[in-house]
Amino acid sequence: MAKYQEKTCSIPRIVIAGTHSGCGKTTVSRGLMQAFRQQGLVVQPFKIGPDFIDPTHHTVICGRVSRNLDPFMMGEDGVRETFRDASAGADIAVIEGVMGMYDGLDGSGISGTAHVMRILSAPALLVVDVRGMSRSAHALVAGYRGFEPDLDLAGVIFNRVGSARHRELIERELSVRALGFIPRNPCLEVESRHLGLMMGFEVREDPLPGTIIRESCDLDGIRDIAGSAPPIPLPESVIPDGHPVARIGIARDEAFCFYYQDNLKRLADSGAELVFFSPLHDPLPKTDGYYFGGGYPELHAAALEAASCRRDLKNAADHGAPVFGECGGMMLLCRTITVDGRDFRMSGILPGEARMTAGIQALGYTAGIWTGGPALSRPGLPIRGHEFHYSFLDLAGDARYSIELSRGRGIFEGRDGLYSHETVGTYTHSYFTPEFAASFVSAAARYGKR
């Protein structure tokens, strides 16, 4: 019998907003998560926007999968529903913002931190980098607080405070509650690479942010603010009930690690049994379909070339198995990957060669529709997501596309979804709709019955 979700969500919650990218939101978010965990709280982490990397750090810290909250991709009801589902059983939710507090899509506030604050009726702390300023910090805070005065900007954390004297100068004219003064500390930086920070599973968890937050911030005050958030009204929704109808292999390792948790949940809700495997280290599992997310195949190209998985994948695709690859996953489906002038053989399913470049080839949200082709989707279904890549494809003359984008570059001039047989590759990291997930699972089930 189907079960129904609760119509409200009352979990204490706090948004970590910032004046701009690089002001210290990630440091404060990670530190708060660690500090609350050390107090014995069950912490549910979230990240506003389409980012894949920060959530992996949250997940390592909290022991619960961090979830993305992105109104452009999910819709406002989708943000509320994901927040409710993920927060079940938690004591507090810590939500890391994106960019500056009011920054959003195309210079608007859409999908920005303030937008999500409004959707979730969530109070926020503003992280202010005070290097090179003292009294001027208050003018900055006043501007942020007054820009949309109906939002609950409940307090400020001053980051990169240079000395006790620097703190004293800032404290003289406080107009908004100060919840923390974090000293300048170069050890708080996280190693980066071309797509951003190192993934959470690649670095040892550093206890320093939690220690500094405990020593520098008013944790009781922050918990009180989080607990002041009102209940969130939610539409009634049904918890799926049923048995798996298909098995879908999910590639997940050092090379393929970019997945929205909601995508995996929607596949499971549609009747998929998810079988996780490593293309680098495991044989290809015998499943009814395959999903290869994005990641860093270029860093593991030699190992992928030597792996049996990429050869077995070609055989499965040639026999009609539905295969979906996004960005790095699509590169594995191509004939080769070229890295620093050297070609590495990949699965050879799609008629293209991937080439790494020194500069970004595309960055931003994408939107469009499926136009036809493989059975894992239906013509007319919408697709929304995000693209961010340092590669491009050299395509053969017989290239065919299954997605027409109204926003974003895709593979070539607004076309995405390169396909062959029942295999599709996209530069779009898509946020699955329930309809697409159901279509993918149905295609896998049909293949499994052959």
- Catalytic positions: 327
Type of residue numbered 421: H
| Tokens, residue 430 | 């898509």
pLDDT at 190: 54
Of the candidates 106, 100, 80, the one whose C-alpha atom is nearest the C-alpha of residue 16 is 100
SS (H, E, C) 130-189: CCCCCCHHHHHHHHHHHHCCCCCEEEEEEEEECCHHHHHHHHCCCCCCEEEEEECCHHHC
Task: Check if the beta carbon of residue 137 is closer than 8 Å to that of residue 166.
Answer: no
Region at 196 (left for phi over 0; alpha for psi -120 to 50; beta for the rest): left
Each domain of the chain, given as residue ranges in start order, spans 3-233, 242-448
In 37-133, DSSP assigns E strands to 43-48, 67-69, 92-96, 124-129
Long-range contacts of residues 241-245, Cβ cutoff 8 Å, at least 24 apart: 241/1, 241/2, 241/3, 242/271, 243/271, 244/271, 244/272, 244/273, 245/271, 245/272, 245/441, 245/445
Residue 112: its pLDDT value, please?
97
pLDDT value at position 397? Answer: 82
For residue 53, which of 238, 198, 161, 243 has the smallest C-alpha distance?
A: 198
Looking at residue 217, its pLDDT comes to 97
Per-residue model confidence (pLDDT) at position 2: 47
pTM of the model: 0.93
Question: Which superfamily does 3-233 belong to?
Answer: P-loop containing nucleotide triphosphate hydrolases (3.40.50.300)
Instruction: Output the six-digit token pair for 139.
Output: 């003018």
Query: What's the sign of the alpha-carbon dihedral 114, 118, 119, 121?
Result: positive
pLDDT the model gives residue 9: 87
Per-residue 3-state assignment (H helix, E strand, C coil) for 295-323:
ECHHHHHHHHHHCHHHHHHHHHHHCCCCE
Q: Report residue 108 as tokens.
A: 């608007």
pLDDT of residue 19: 97
* Topology agreement, domain 3-233 and domain 242-448: yes
Per-residue pLDDT of the chain (450 residues; tens, 9 = 90+): 445 565 788 999 999 999 999 999 999 999 999 999 999 999 999 999 999 999 999 999 999 999 999 999 999 999 999 999 999 999 999 999 999 999 999 999 999 999 999 999 999 999 999 999 999 999 999 999 999 999 999 999 999 999 999 999 999 999 899 999 999 988 776 544 445 456 666 666 677 889 999 999 999 999 999 999 999 988 776 667 677 899 999 999 999 999 999 999 999 999 999 999 999 999 999 999 999 999 999 999 999 999 999 999 999 999 999 999 999 999 999 999 999 999 999 999 999 999 999 999 999 999 999 999 999 999 999 999 999 999 999 998 889 999 999 999 999 999 999 999 999 999 999 999 999 999 999 999 999 998
> Which option is the CATH number for 242-448: 3.90.950.10, 3.40.50.300, 3.40.1170.10, 3.40.50.880?
3.40.50.880
